Amino acid sequence: MNKEICLMGNPILRTTAEKIDMSELNTPEFKALLEDMFDSMKASGGIGIAAPQIGISKQLALIELNGVNRYNEFIDLPLTAFINPVIEILDEATQGYWEGCLSVPGLRGFVERPRHIKVSFVNQHGEDQSLEAEGFLATVIQHELDHLFGNLYVDRINDPKLLMYQSEYDKYIIQKATMD
Ligand code: ZN
């Protein structure tokens, strides 16, 4: 079911979410939570969503990037649930992307994050997983997992001048990017 998205200012977005007990994974409540997150992500046109964004303070995020072409990178990550994820930075060197967030609607901000990471997590089938990611995918994963620890992308903008309305981003940044 499509749920209302919690917006910046809602304290749940500033709270470290609770770890999920593995015994929860096969419960109807957990399956319903996954469905609600998926429906809410799709309804908002997002590529990722974290449980706190629909008001559930649990360490669970969903990401789906099916054959997406962003910044000249082809990224394919089938729908994946990240349960109790832990990030390891493999390369401290950063890379910057323009980020947006369902909880911060209408805005875009330029954020620099470590470009190469490894994330260990449990997936929706209860399997231990480890995924290495670079570039845009590394940024998407770090953005979504930030939500599980009370962080928003706006906290990570180094230059506040690089925060703008989507309309102006479309007007001034996209055009410039296509010319570069
Ligand atoms: Zn977000």
**Model confidence pLDDT, tens digit, residues 120-132:** 999 999 999 999 9
CA of 46 to the centre of ligand 1 (A): 9
Helical spans, DSSP H, in the chain: 28-44, 135-146, 166-168, 175-179
CA distances from 9 to 3, 5, 30, 52, 55 (A): 18, 12, 26, 13, 13
pLDDT of residue 70: 74
pLDDT of residue 176: 56
Whether 97 and 85 have beta carbons less than 8 Å apart is answered as: no
pLDDT of residue 179: 46
CA of 83 to the centre of ligand 1 (A): 16
CA of 100 to the centre of ligand 1 (A): 7
Give yes or no for residue 159 having a pLDDT over 70: yes
Give the Cα separation of 146 and 155 in Å (integer).
Answer: 10
144 is annotated as an active-site residue:
yes
Give the Cα separation of 127 and 79 in Å (integer).
Answer: 14
Whether 76 and 67 have beta carbons less than 8 Å apart is answered as: yes
CA of 161 to the centre of ligand 1 (A): 20
Q: Give the DSSP letter string of 136-162.
A: HHHHHHHHHHHTTBT--GGGG-S-GGG
% of the chain at pLDDT higher than 90: 88
CA 40 to chain centre: 13
User: What does the block give as tokens for 75?
Assistant: 């990224």
Give the Cα separation of 123 and 30 in Å (integer).
Answer: 13
CA of 144 to the centre of ligand 1 (A): 6
Q: Which of 24, 99, 127, 144 is catalytic?
A: 144
Average pLDDT over residues 156-170: 96
| pLDDT band, residue 180 (cuts 50/70/90) | very low
Q: Is 123 helix (H, G, I), strand (E, B) or coil?
A: coil
Average pLDDT over residues 34-54: 96
Q: Which fold has domain 11-179?
A: Peptide Deformylase (3.90.45)
Average pLDDT over residues 90-106: 96
Give yes or no for residue 62 having a pLDDT over 90: yes
CA of 47 to the centre of ligand 1 (A): 10
Predicted TM-score (pTM) of the model is: 0.94
